[in-house]
Amino acid sequence: MMSALQEYISVIGCFQGFLLFGLLVADARMTTASRVLGAICLLIALIFLMPFLLANSGNSPIAWAIGPLYFLPVALGPLGYLYCRSALLETALTKRDLLHLIPVLFFYALTADVSIADPQAMAKWITSAPPLNLRLQISEYVPVVLAFAYAGWTGWMIWRYRRQANDNLANFDPSAFNWLLMMQVFNFVVWFLKTLSGFTSFAPILLNDIANLFLVVLIYTIAIMQWRNPHFFTIPNLSEEQAKTVHNNSSKNESETGGELDPAIRATLFDSVKNQVESGKLYLDNDLTLTRLSVLTGVSKHHLSEVLNRHAGKNFYEFINGYRVDFVRKRFAENTDRSILDIALEAGFSSKSTFNAIFKQFTGQTPTQYRRTLAQKAA
């Protein structure tokens, strides 16, 4: 018998999942990442059908669906990884990505004799009967391990891409990484609560309901953001820089990796780079990357990164955006009537959302708040 909370969560989860699946897959504006997220929403919608199927497991036309649907959560980890990667890099899926289906196929093969041949026995096992064989017993634990492993792997990938973006790019909204990292934290919480509900006698149903509620709120919030702006989580130029990083790591010559620069040389190179950036106002170029700055200053990318990190104590993102934010603050101080967006674009920022996020990160205030504060002081 389902509780009122279970019914409410399941109905909302099903309806919203199917709706978001349709929006994310059918809309012509959508990207590969949007469609992968649409598949995740569809899976969650089908997962939330499970309580209704179990409540009507005596109906044989319905009971056959219990087995196939029960192991769908196994696919959430692989799909979540593929979504985060394609969202950040804006790349298409490849044939190699089919390897992520192996865990899903493994669990269906592991339990096929019960889930397909005897759906009634499957329903009894799900609703608390002891496992019928060792394979079912294994299937109770390994999906949880797999979910934690994929959440950790995906979180590490996002963190690694964030470091690459900080080291090589200046025009991106860091909140994209924050949202996707939070998604992995919630994944850990959801699966921890689900695991705890299976090993504790203290309100196991309530713990499972809370886990499902977290799942609905997080995934569907991300899905709505993705539908409203299919490129919200995309980091421009990250895929190109990531490809260059992989290539450089595999083809560095001995002279480039032979050791760190002497501190005096680092200081000299930094002064040279700093002077060229300031005199040429290179930071005003909204397409400026570490690679492009390396070409403009005549310092190798490897040495330029070392100079910024080891001498200036800043990554490329902080170094360039420090100049851009100072440029905007000076324009604000001039009491110009120009719009905030016009000033931001002149400073080298590529979009309003990126500018707002970076400006607040550097000053602790939104551009509007900062400009209003200046006006009040002047008055």
pLDDT, position 255: 43
Tell me if the domain spanning 260-378 has CATH number 1.10.10.60.
yes
pLDDT at residue 115 above 80?
Answer: no
For the stretch 183-204, pLDDT in tens is 999 889 988 988 887 777 666 7
Angle of helix 175-199 relative to helix 76-89, nearest 10 degrees, comes to: 170
Report residue 213's pLDDT band, with 50, 70 and 90 as the boundaries: confident
Q: pTM of the prediction? A: 0.88
Segment 203-230 mean pLDDT: 86
For the stretch 3-59, pLDDT in tens is 677 778 788 889 999 999 999 999 999 999 999 999 999 999 988 888 777 777 666
For the stretch 310-361, pLDDT in tens is 999 999 999 999 999 999 999 999 877 899 999 999 999 999 999 999 999 9
Name the CATH code of domain 4-228 (choices 1.10.10, 1.20.1070, 2.40.128, 1.10.3470).
1.20.1070
- Residue 289: name the closest of 177, 159, 169, 202 by CA: 169
Residue type, 280: G
105/103 Cα distance (integer angstroms): 6
Tokens at 347, concatenated = 């400073």
Residues 366/356, Cβ–Cβ less than 8 Å: yes
pLDDT at residue 257 above 90?
Answer: no
- Residue 313: name the closest of 261, 270, 370 by CA: 270
Are 4-228 and 260-378 the same fold in CATH? no
Task: Break the chain into its structural domains and give their ranges.
Answer: 4-228, 260-378
Report residue 256's pLDDT band, with 50, 70 and 90 as the boundaries: very low
**CA angle 70–215–182, rounded 5-degree value:** 130
